[in-house]
Amino acid sequence: MMCGKFEELWIPYLDDRLSAEQRGQVEAHLALCAECARRREEYGALFRTMEGWEAPPPSPWFDVRLRQRIAAEQPSRRLPAWLRIFSPAFPLAVSVMLLVAALLVWTGTRGPEPIQVADSDTIRVEELMHIVDELDMLDDFDMLAELNTADEEAGQAATQSR
């Protein structure tokens, strides 16, 4: 097994891409480490073998088979037919919906028109509805009565303890 001291430098060393200083360091290490020297010989043999190797040319039917395979896989990646009909119009539809939403938000920020009361005070309908809702809630809220009795009992207990 290799010691790994110069592992990241093996390929540049075998390709003669190291600086003179780095090359000297690697060769000095190779003189001392038998495992790394053996590994250099193995890499060298592999590189010599790969330099002489030529990839076989593709068969004449390679392009035809590749295109058939691509064509067979394409329908699974494409949109369903009912979505392909609408796909060009989809960005336009989204844009129109966003424009309508923006217009609704922009025109809705002004609030309801004020109502003129007899004494020329202006009161908004939403303010009136808010007051009515609070009154209805307080009428139905029995806990206020219990709260008042609890406060009274606490006050009586405090006066008795003095």
Please write the tens of the pLDDT for every residue from 54-112: 888 888 888 888 888 888 876 655 666 666 666 667 777 888 889 988 888 877 656 66
The span from the CA of 129 to the CA of 102, in Å, is 27
Please write the tens of the pLDDT for every residue from 30-57: 898 888 888 888 888 888 888 888 888 8
Enumerate residues 6+ apart whose C-beta is below 8 A from 40: 10, 13, 14, 30
Choose between 24 and 86: higher pLDDT: 24
- The residue assigned the tokens 């330099």 is 51
What global pTM score does this model have? 0.33
5 three-class SS: coil
The span from the CA of 90 to the CA of 59, in Å, is 44
Choose between 134 and 79: higher pLDDT: 134
Instruction: List the domain boundaries for the chain.
Output: 7-52, 115-161
If you ran DSSP here, which 8-state letter would residue 60 be given?
Answer: T
Res 150: pLDDT: 60
For residue 55, CA distances in Å to 32, 50, 58 come to 38, 10, 9
The span from the CA of 107 to the CA of 110, in Å, is 6
**What integer is the mean pLDDT of 132-154?**
64
